Amino acid sequence: MCGIIGYVGPGKASQILTDGLKMLEYRGYDSVGIAVLKDGKLEVRKDKGMVEEVSSALAFTTMGGNVGVGHSRWATHGVVCKENAHPHTDCTKNIALVHNGVVENFSKLKSELSAAGHKFSSDTDSEVVVHLVEEYSKTQPPLKAFMRAIGRLEGSYAIALMSAADSEERLFLARRNSPLVIGVGKGEMLCASDIPAMLKYTKTFVALEEGDMAILSRHGYKVYSSDGSEVSRKQITVDWGVEMAQKGGYPHFMLKEINDQKHFISESLASDVTGARKLMDKYDRIDIIAAGTSYHAGLMLACLLQQQGRNAQAFIASDYPFITSPKEKTLVIGISQSGETADVLQALRHAPKSPKLAITNTVGSSITRLVDHTVFLNSGPEVGVAATKTFTSQLAIVYKLIYGKEKLGGLPALIEKMLASENHVKAIAQKLASKENVFFIARGRNVPIAYEASLKFKEITYIHSEAYPGGELKHGTLSLITEGVPVIALAPKDDTLQKLFGNIREAKARGGLIVSVTDDDEVRKESAMSIPIPSGLDPILYPFALIVPLQLLAYHVSVLKGINPDRPRNLAKSVTVE
């Protein structure tokens, strides 16, 4: 969940690291730090806070040197404070390390190192690694010492380390169950948790595999497998432009990414799903695993497959290992925007004998190495913590898998029309910003969209929000609907409308403030506020028409409340711990 960046080359390391950390901040943003090597001396600056404030308060970019590592933190071990921020150094202050992941055997290692005289300055699990390297460096050359230290670690890690005692300017890398990608530049090398942080310098990357270690120097890189032997790893090139990972004039990434949906939906629809369809036709049972927003796309896939009479079910990835034992005849589909979500990767590993398919946005991500076949979203990098464009892209892939592309030609225009409702949505946001609870209701295939709208709403507005199939209200939740409590009804004119209308009336009779997204005049009349859906729409496209204004609603309530929707508290974009 933390963001790591490293650089070695002729450039000014502190500037490159600081710029990179700004791009990586969506991975974690409670503290930040960089370490650089200049004239054989290590300098570290770090503190709690966001990249922008810490880097300017500590004047990161005044630091000289051409090699360095940087880190933005999402705390797992130890409170948020300067001492626990990365980079961490050894007792001699010659070695600096940044780490993403969890070292599960850290307390055993810490006792061992303390007994050998090492002094620790933080409460983190990460710091043990740098002391371990220091310990082994007493008797072994740098690479051997690094490999030996890595061999002692249990848990997950992406690590970048450098040493002032090294005879060359080099970075030492290792990864297991946490992403780390090498950026191959001309006369310079980078590494980072995610590709966008390196796009300014290169479009060529090497994704390290599980257990890999590597050395970077300005002349190139070498990769080693966990047994220490040198291995070759495939280079990948991406066609993402730097501007794709920038705000492009919008006040927030989230708003840009919501608006980007009108373009990227076509890119996603162009994605090749023939291999995936063949796989899906071959198996009787389909298990779909995912987390958060991707789970809602998974629910939609399961729902549409079930409507076709198929045996399909969507599972919350973190629970999948507890509730099922997939057999060879089950196709397991993992959906993950980042392709790095630990819960999803773990759930895929829980199905060792099953054939597997991934739907992801990230070329070279861990999920692609765990499956037999991958479908890419082609949505470009998504920087806002709240998933928006990647959700509609996931839906587009799901729809293409089920209906084929022919019926979906009108999607870009539909999304554009729904985006045009922004000012109207903004006015509704003003009425909701002071509320404490919000409920979303829908029926049938619109229910996954209600779940997603509710997740988006609570995630960035901090207003308690829940979503239900409308029929469930009367089985308990109706007790919470009192005067003025918003009930947002996803009420398109499809086969679900009649029954949902009954639920809307039930909520209204208890004083509920009905906000509808609808193309039905009667529902509109019953509503206090309504967001229109264009009339004459093919009913299968309603989910797309529903989600876009509800993303905008969450965004505007968030902004009205003075929250930064790109960086909601306690969350991170890529959740690489279980």
Q: Which residues does the annotation mark as catalytic?
A: 2, 573
Stretch that binds ligand M6R, among 206-214, 236-244, 286-294, 441-449 (CB under 6 A): 286-294
347 versus 537: smaller Cβ distance to ligand M6R = 347
386 versus 441: smaller Cβ distance to ligand M6R = 386
Q: Residue 343 CB, nearest distance to ligand M6R (Å)?
A: 8
Q: Residue 345 CB, nearest distance to ligand M6R (Å)?
A: 9
Q: Which two tokens stand for residue 104?
A: 């599960």
How far separated are the first and last CA of the chain, in Å rounded? Answer: 11
Q: Which residue has the tokens 């000289």?
A: 64
292 versus 381: smaller Cβ distance to ligand M6R = 292
CA angle 377/211/143 to nearest 5° reads: 130
Strands (E), 339-411: 356-360, 373-376
Please tell me whether residue 385 binds ligand M6R under the rule CB under 6 A: yes
Q: Which two tokens stand for residue 564?
A: 């930064």
Residue nearest ligand M6R, Cβ-based: 292
Please tell me whether residue 341 binds ligand M6R under the rule CB under 6 A: yes
In the list 451, 575, 576, 577, the residue contacting ligand M6R (rule: CB under 6 A) is: 575
Integer angstrom CA distances of residue 388 from 175, 249, 383: 29, 18, 10
Please tell me whether residue 344 binds ligand M6R under the rule CB under 6 A: yes
Please tell me whether residue 516 binds ligand M6R under the rule CB under 6 A: no
Q: Residue 64 CB, nearest distance to ligand M6R (Å)?
A: 37
3-state secondary structure of 197: helix
Stretch that binds ligand M6R, among 136-144, 205-213, 380-388, 441-449 (CB under 6 A): 380-388
Q: Residue 168 CB, nearest distance to ligand M6R (Å)?
A: 37
Stretch that binds ligand M6R, among 183-191, 268-276, 383-391, 404-412 (CB under 6 A): 383-391
31 versus 293: smaller Cβ distance to ligand M6R = 293
54 versus 385: smaller Cβ distance to ligand M6R = 385
3-state helix, strand, coil in the chain (%, to 5): 40, 25, 35
Going by C-alpha positions, the residue among 541, 324, 247 that lies closest to residue 418 is 541
Q: Which two tokens stand for residue 416?
A: 């554009």
Q: What is the DSSP letter of 91?
A: T
Cis? peptide before 196, omega within 30° of 0: no
Q: What is the DSSP letter of 309?
A: T
293 versus 446: smaller Cβ distance to ligand M6R = 293
Stretch that binds ligand M6R, among 180-188, 337-345, 470-478, 512-520 (CB under 6 A): 337-345
Q: Which two tokens stand for residue 86?
A: 């990365």
In the list 337, 378, 379, 496, the residue contacting ligand M6R (rule: CB under 6 A) is: 337
Q: Report d(CA 567, CA 27) in Å as an integer.
A: 9
Binding mask of the shown chain, residues 201 to 240, with x at each position contacting ligand M6R by CB under 6 A = ----------------------------------------
Size of the site for ligand M6R (CB under 6 A): 16
Contacts with 371 (C-beta within 8 Å, 6 or more apart), sequence order: 334, 348, 356, 357, 358
C-beta separation of 470 from 442 below 8 A: yes
Q: Residue 381 CB, nearest distance to ligand M6R (Å)?
A: 12
Q: What is the DSSP pairing of strand 330-336 with strand 356-360? A: parallel
In the list 14, 338, 454, 503, the residue contacting ligand M6R (rule: CB under 6 A) is: 338
3-state secondary structure of 346: helix
Q: Report d(CA 194, CA 504) in Å as an integer.
A: 44
Binding mask of the shown chain, residues 233 to 272, with x at each position contacting ligand M6R by CB under 6 A = ----------------------------------------
Contacts with 331 (C-beta within 8 Å, 6 or more apart), sequence order: 279, 280, 282, 283, 285, 286, 287, 354, 355, 356, 357
Q: What is the DSSP letter of 87?
A: P
Q: What is the DSSP letter of 427?
A: H
14 versus 393: smaller Cβ distance to ligand M6R = 393
Please tell me whether residue 387 binds ligand M6R under the rule CB under 6 A: yes
Contacts with 157 (C-beta within 8 Å, 6 or more apart), sequence order: 99, 100, 101, 103, 129, 150, 174, 175, 176, 177, 178
Binding positions for ligand M6R, 402-421, rule CB under 6 A: none
3-state per-residue secondary structure call for 276-334: HHHHHHHCCEEEEEECHHHHHHHHHHHHHHHHCCCEEEEEECCCHHHHCCCCCCEEEEE
Listing from the earlier edge strand, what are the strands of the sheet with 67-73?
41-48, 31-38, 67-73, 3-8, 189-192, 181-184, 204-207, 236-237
Q: Residue 452 CB, nearest distance to ligand M6R (Å)?
A: 8
Please tell me whether residue 196 binds ligand M6R under the rule CB under 6 A: no
Binding positions for ligand M6R, 130-189, rule CB under 6 A: none
Please tell me whether residue 386 binds ligand M6R under the rule CB under 6 A: yes
Q: Residue 189 CB, nearest distance to ligand M6R (Å)?
A: 27
Q: How far is C-alpha 414 from the geometric centre of its chain's CA atoms?
A: 26
Please tell me whether residue 357 binds ligand M6R under the rule CB under 6 A: no
Q: Residue 216 CB, nearest distance to ligand M6R (Å)?
A: 26
3-state secondary structure of 447: helix
C-beta separation of 254 from 390 below 8 A: no
336 versus 461: smaller Cβ distance to ligand M6R = 336
Binding positions for ligand M6R, 91-130, rule CB under 6 A: none
71 versus 389: smaller Cβ distance to ligand M6R = 389
Binding positions for ligand M6R, 288-307, rule CB under 6 A: 291-294
189 versus 344: smaller Cβ distance to ligand M6R = 344
Binding positions for ligand M6R, 443-502, rule CB under 6 A: 455, 459
Return residues touching ligand M6R (CB under 6 A).
291-294, 336-338, 341, 344, 385-387, 455, 459, 574-575
